Structure 1
Amino acid sequence: MLTQGMGLLIGLLSLWFIPHAQFALILLLVSLGILLCRKWFKFSCLFNWVNWGIIWACLNILVWANTTKSLITDAATVEVEGMICSIPYRQAERILFDFCVSYINGQEVGWLSQRKFQASWWHVEDALVSEKSAIHAGETWVLYGRIKPARGRVNPAGFDRERWLLANHYLGQLSVKRWTGFRDLSSISSLYHQMRQSVYEKVRFVLKDSEFQGVILAILMGERQHFSNQQQDVFQRSGTAHLLAISGLHIGIAALWVYWGFLFICKRTAKFCLLIPACRAAEIGALCGALFLLLLSGMAIPACRATLMLSVVFVSRWFGSYLPIANVLSLVMLITLIIFPFSILLASFWLSFGTVSMIALVLNKPSYFREKLVLWFRINWFLFLMLIPVSWVIFGYVSWVAFAVNLLLIPVYSFVITPLIYLAGILAFIEINMAKWLFDWISELIGIGFIIQSKSVEYNQLIPEVSFNPLSLLYVGSLLTISLLPYKLLNLKLKILFLIGFLLSMPFQQKRPYDFQMWVFDIGQGLAVYIETPDGNLIFDTGWGNKQFNLAKTTIIPFLQNNKIRQVDKLIVSHDDSDHSGGVSELLSQVNITQVLSGESILFSHADNCHRATSWQWGRVEFEFLSTDNVLWKSGNNASCVLSVKVGQQHILLTGDIEKQSEAYLIQQGLKPHDFLLAPHHGSLTSSSRQFVNHVRPKYVIFSTGYDNRWKFPKTEVVERYRLIGSEIYNTADDGAVWLYAKPDEQINIASFRRLYPQFWR
């Protein structure tokens, strides 16, 4: 079983690397290879299962491409009928929910197609003209809105939304314009979602005064939208975010407590024990408890995996077969990969199976210590070691206090807080005052734990920062692996040699081979640019944002963390529009910035005016602000900073949102032609005049726009002006982040991330 599971897993890894439009060819070649090789060669079981894994990957891509992907090829305004299949929640001025469609423009969605949309509804109170006062899960509605394919921003670091949407079975995204009808339909699915909605509303009502409402709802139902930013940050940085995810830990807790309860009752009921053994009844009850929590949590994929694992263990026992943990894991992996092949694209898949495998290895490792406390210490220690490279690669930091905090809080949450939350959730439907009293006590306990977590985060910041490179991360993984192998295979001397190698690898950092790099981030409708040289770096604009949310947090900050950049020499804010300055406060709070320059002097009291700033040079890269007419740059788009960057003999022009008046003034002041141009005002008709385009004559022009933006930028007429002079066009909405780079004494090269990484889901 282990061979089959590992073979299928290795084969399905091809999902990470198959380029778009080549899966059919790969499927054909692998299938022909298997048929030909079977005739003349006898291959191992592992090799055969690897091939079947590749075939299964390609078949799933083929089905998805010809059903789900082909159903929505571009954004369109349509009428959709379907069911609200998640609990709606409010975020600022909009309502977010999942909408499972049955019909699009009257045409039924095929059974092989994914049906779920990520829906958003702005200003819902003004738009909803019906007798209904709220949106509830399980209701069947007819909505009019704009649908888009499953699409996200593609950047050198941060969250890959397109991959996440695919792995979680989303058809696309829906922006609701208005409600057009209500269908009074009833089904098992609608009743299920209505049940979740009623539980959610009842518990929220009881918890309305609780500071930790979000934590309790996350543990009870998997609803994580009520966290404050501070709570979310503390749980992540203390290494305890897993306490809130309904997966193996919570499914196991529910099953364990139900098992103990049934066992206690059954052993004291003689007549019942004559019908079925007490242990068997307790196992059936435990499985039912796990299934109930699975349904309550919305049947998330991690919870499905944990419940499946528990089911395999119990069912094998009922048939008299006690499977080793390796076989249980392999069988669960096989079933998961067959039912949810795209789940391999999620980090939770690897964390889930990696954690369980690590615990199994620790439990099976020969040891002279059998005390439970010592075993608990060892399990947490090895999990902490496993998460060091994972946390560093994904988040760019390591929570060094996670070991101590988890050692203390996991038992508290497992045996006190989580069971009490389940009990209080049941009491909410029986005796609301008692439930409120119990939830108050639970909030107090969570509050005490939160104080410990907050203090641990403060202590973590006091620990000197350790920087890992790929070699040192490889040594961490190797040390972890050899530590779990039997003692006879590796002696102490070899382990010491690995440890010395790891310590020696720490000081070595990967040298960056470029003396100039520039990233135009895929920031949606807005602008954000990062420029780096060996002697300094700068950020030009920060993307869209407001008080509730900003794109700098999801795009620029992850990029800086991933590249271990903690110092920015200059932050340039072209002007005060929210799609250019929305992330300034986030950057100022997260990054050490030496100087801030702004096109509108009223924007920041401590910012310097870029129109009066002097030129400077970092290495062979020269920077110069081109001042526009002082009447125009008082405020508005024409106040934008215009930055010219010279790399060797090539020039790059960053223009912000300047319009035709400023363009004409720059030409009068002797503006030179530039090889690379960041198109003014995202390709608006108010900019990129024929005179400006013909004068600058860029070889490459970059538009920073959002996919299907409401202004339809860049305008077709503007794009054609650049095409007529032979410019090569890049648009972040179509190409993802655009990367300009140059090695010492070489010309600037240009690339885009959608072209560099053409995975099939793009």
Structure 2
Amino acid sequence: MTGLALGLMALGYLPVLPPAGWLGVLCGLAVGLMFFRTYPVGLWLLGLVWACLQGQSALDDRLSDALDGRTLWIEGRVTGLPQRTASYVGFDIDTPVSRRAELPRTLRLSWQGGPPVNSGERWRLAVKLKKPRGLLNPQGFDYEAWLLSKRIGATGTVKDGQRLATASAAWRDGLRQRLLSVEAHGRAPWLAALVMGDGSGLDREDWKLLQTTGTVHLLVISGQHIGLFAGLLYGLIALLARYGIWPRGWPWLPWACGMAFVGAVSYGLLAGFGVPVQRACVMLGLVLLWRLRFRHLGVWLPFLLALNAVLLVEPLASLMPGFWLSFAAVAVLIFTFSGRLGAWSQWSAWTRPHGLIALGLFPVMWALALPVSATGPLANLVAVPWISLLVLPSALLGTFLLPVPWLGEGLLWVSGGLLDVLIRGLTWLAGTFPAWLPPAVPIGIWVLTAAGVVMLLLPAGVALRPLGWPLLALALLAPREQVPHGQVEVWQLDVGQGLAMLLRTRHHTLLYDAGPTLRDLDQGERVVVPFLRSQGIHELDLMLISHADSDHAGGALAVQRALNVKQVISGDVPGLPAQLQAQPCAAQDGWEWDGVRFSLWQWPDASNGNQKSCVLLVQAGDERLLLTGDIDAQAERAFLRSPLAVPVQWLQAPHHGSRTSSSRVFLNALSAQHVLISRGAGNSFGHPHPQVLARYRALGMTVLDSAEQGAVRLSLGAKGVALGERQQRRFWRLDG
């Protein structure tokens, strides 16, 4: 079983999927190995073959290249629970049909300013379709892997539409709407998340609060909720039988086990039956079965059966972070609670699991680039019993009794009040002790730290256990990669339609632009800040905002809130928020950091925001990089009359490669060998313009496009090559 699980989980590490012929060979080899009783290796190969077949099936169901960016009329049924915000509605369409093309089985759509969309409705929609592509940055969330794990073959934006049929049998969506309409001290979205596993009503600040305090598992339906509900049903029947209230003709134990399992599965269906719920139901079913038969077959067998059951049903589940966290948490509890001599006090039995889970999950969260909560054990010490014993029972009972006037809503009002008290306490805790995002380290350091965690989870008295502390300390004391003197490490981040570039010398750090904001999407908060923290950066010597357009300056406030920014310079100070306290670009002189020269320029006769862009020239040795913001052809001609108009090796494409920039005279004068383009895939501005791209290539310039290569890294002064994140192959990543 371990071999089979390892084969199924190996899917996420494959750069490419083997062709069908090789899968046939591997399958034959697996059968042969099992014939000779080499079961672990044979089952490992069978698991790998099955996972590859399912992965290829999901890839084959993606949108074709010919339909990428096209607008089609489609018909389909809304599935799942639509997500609604003040500005848009997001929903999935199941088995869409178009007269002009064959479409993937599932589409994920967003409709800006659209009408209410409910689960189960059938719609006719005009949709601009896109291949399932996402931003790609080091230590960032892999949206493409997540879409594949959900078997979503395309995304799209709705331009127009009409409802063809109302919802049929959409009971989950109806119940959610009922819960959201309840007066519960403003915590109705939290109740919907707790009862139904639907977190679409929570905003980014809510999720940030849960993440900072390590309590996300309490609001997302998990094994704890399933086990608690099943235990309540089992205990109720056992209690009735003990006091002679249960009918004598009905054996109480089979009924208790059966009702507990039926209740767990029913609750799971209410919550959408995600991976944590699947795992909990399988393990609970096995435990109840053995309880019924008075047998005990060990603690690891239910775990392995649940692990393999989930992966056999959906091998792509291993691409989701929640899969690893769910099974890792259970594995930590099994490892630390089973086979130990001696008894713990009641206080230790209650407090230790929270600390052990926090310790055991640390390497997993580090590998998944997730924030680590410093206050997680303390927050869960209070939150777990508060939710389990007070909030959840009243919320479930209130939901069940909603058809009874006043009673159901009254219980939900009480449940919302209890939640409000807890949330206020968590808010204070999060404000006092923020979460920590461990910096990226070499794989060897991570392995040693993980080994140290395993040692610390061993029973007291084991000889190697004290060695875990110095190994764990490597997470804090691991040496960071140092930039050589006279060189600059340059990162062009993948922030979509905008710009954010990090420049780091040996002892100084500069951020050129901070990414875009669009409605409630702040790439400064989502991309720039997590990336900086993953690089071990908690302070910026300078944040240089080229100009005030939202695609360049939108994320600046998020960066300033999260890090210590010593100085802010911009080419358009009046257009920026006053909180940034920016200084004008024109008043600045050049400077030198660690043997690297930095020079600024701004056109004094600029008449609009783009022309006001603050231009930065960086020289490391005999290599130069020119960052131009959004200057147009007029500003380019003015720049060529300045002392900074010298040949460069690297050029950041002016205005994302628009037709009004990158004039031929400008490019000829600079003689750049490489051009960096930061833009969103399929953006509505048409960046970069085909004529500009042709101009770059005609001059022999290497084009490095964030929409095609993800984040791009180069070492200025080392005369090396630039590397894009998509060069680190994974089978689900789209080619540039």
Shared fold, TM over 0.5? yes
Name structure 2 gaps, 5 residues minimum: none
Match of 2:112 among 119, 122, 127: 122
Unmatched tracts of structure 1, length 5 or more: 126-133
Counterpart in the other structure of 1:564: 536
Following the alignment from structure 1 to structure 2, what is the Cα–Cα distance between the partners of residues 232 and 38? 47
Q: Where does residue 511 of structure 1 map in the other structure?
A: 481
| TM-score, structure 1 as length reference | 0.89
Counterpart for residue 585 of structure 1: 557
State the alpha-carbon separation in 1 of the partners of residues 475 and 657 from structure 2.
48
| Alignment-derived partner of residue 122 in structure 2 | 140
Structure 2: how far apart are the matches of 1:285 and 1:78?
A: 49
Q: Does the CA-based 8 Å contact 1:570-1:593 persist in structure 2? A: yes
Q: Secondary structure at the match of 2:211?
A: helix
- Determine the structure 2 residue equivalent to 1:203: 179
3-state DSSP of counterpart to 1:552: helix
1:159–1:554: 8 Å Cα contact kept in structure 2? no
Give the direction of change, closer, same or farther, for the CA distance of 1:687–1:479 in structure 2 (3 Å limit): closer
Is 2:483–2:489's contact at 8 Å kept on the other side of the alignment? Answer: no
The amino acid across from 1:143 in the alignment is L
Q: Is the 8 A contact 2:111 2:158 kept in 1?
A: yes
Structure-2 residue corresponding to 1:92: 86
2:457, 2:478 → 1: CA distance?
Answer: 27
Q: Say which SS state the counterpart of residue 702 (structure 1) adopts.
A: strand
Q: Structure 1 residue 475: deviation in Å?
A: 5.2
Structure 2 residue 377 is matched with structure 1 residue 403: yes
Structure 1 residues 440 and 312: alpha-carbon distance in aligned structure 2, compared to 1, 3 A threshold: same
**Secondary structure at the residue paired with 2:54?**
helix
**Partner amino acid for 2:464?**
L
CA distance in 1, matches of 2:560, 2:509: 15
Confirm or deny: 8 A CA contact 1:23 1:62 kept in the other structure.
no
Query: Aligned runs of 1:367-406 on 2, under 5 Å?
Result: 367-394=341-368, 397-406=371-380
Deviation, structure 1 residue 460: 2.8
Secondary structure, counterpart of 1:354 in structure 2: helix
Between 604-613 and 386-395, the greater mean CA deviation after superposition: 386-395
Instruction: State the Cα distance separating 1:725 from its structure 2 match.
Output: 0.9
Helix, strand or coil at the partner of 1:117: strand
1:227 maps to: 202
Alignment partner of 1:257 is 2:232: yes
C-alpha distance in 2 between matches for 1:426 and 1:498: 48
Q: Which residue of 1 aligns with 2:217?
A: 242
1:680 matched residue in structure 2: 654
Q: Distance in 2 between matches of 1:661 and 1:588?
A: 32
Q: Which residue of 1 aligns with 2:39?
A: 45
Q: How far, CA to CA, are the matches of 1:267 and 1:486 in structure 2?
A: 38
Q: CA shift at 1:265, angstroms?
A: 4.8
1:139 Cα offset (Å): 0.7
User: Offset at 1:374?
Assistant: 2.9
- Residue-by-residue CA offset, 1:470-506 (whole Å, 9 max, x unaligned): 677555533443355467xxx5543234435555885
For 1:248-397, what aligned pairs fall within 5 Å after superposition?
Answer: 248-265=223-240, 272-274=247-249, 276-315=250-289, 322-394=296-368, 397=371
SS at match of 1:423: helix
Q: Which of the residues 532, 540, 548 maps onto 2:504?
A: 532
Q: Is the 8 A contact 2:33 2:39 kept in 1?
A: no
Task: Report what 2:387 is aligned to.
Answer: 413
Q: Is the 2:9–2:315 Cα contact (8 Å) retained in structure 1?
A: no
Task: Say whether residues 1:64 and 2:38 are aligned partners.
Answer: no
Q: 1:739 to 1:288 in 2, by over 3 A?
A: same
Instruction: Give SS of 1:97's match.
Output: strand
**Distance change (3 Å), C-alpha of 1:517 and 1:92:** farther
Number of aligned residue pairs: 727
Amino acid of the residue matched to residue 251 of structure 1? I
Alpha-carbon offset, residue 162 of structure 1? 0.6
Read off the aligned partner of 1:76 and give its amino acid letter.
Answer: R
Secondary structure of 1:739's aligned partner:
strand
Spell out the pairing of 1:595-610 with structure 2 (5 A cutoff): 595-604=567-576, 605=578, 606-610=581-585
Distance 1:468 1:495 in 2: 26
Distance 1:51 1:201 in 2: 46
Q: CA 1:105–1:625 in structure 2 vs 1: closer, same or farther (change >3 Å)?
A: farther
Q: 1:403, 1:524 → 2: CA distance?
A: 37
Corresponding residue to 1:657 among 617, 630, 645: 630
Residue 152 of structure 1: aligned partner:
134
CA distance in 2, matches of 1:728, 1:309: 54
CA distance in 2, matches of 1:14, 1:26: 16
Instruction: State the AA in 2 paired with 1:169.
Output: R
Match in the other structure for 1:129: none
Does the alignment pair 1:443 with 2:426? no
Q: RMSD value over aligned CA atoms? A: 2.9
Q: 2:16 aligns with which of 17, 20, 36?
A: 20
Aligned pair 1:216/2:191, yes or no? yes
CA change 1:545–1:468 in 2 (3 A) is closer
The answer for the alignment partner of 1:615 in structure 2 is 590
Question: Which has the higher mean CA deviation after the structures are superposed, 473-482 or 194-203?
Answer: 473-482
**Distance 1:593-1:26 versus aligned 2 partners, 3 A rule:** farther
The code of the aligned residue for 1:99 comes to I
Cα 1:653–1:361, aligned 2, differ >3 Å: closer, same or farther?
same
Find the aligned partners of 2:245 and 2:428 in 1 and give their Cα distance.
52
CA distance in 1, matches of 2:526, 2:407: 42
CA contact (8 A) 2:394 2:414 kept: no
Identity of aligned residues (%): 27
Change (3 A) 1:277 1:483: farther
Aligned-partner Cα distance in 2 for 1:398–1:87:
29
Q: 1:107 to 1:681 in 2, by over 3 A?
A: closer
Letter in 2 for 1:206: V
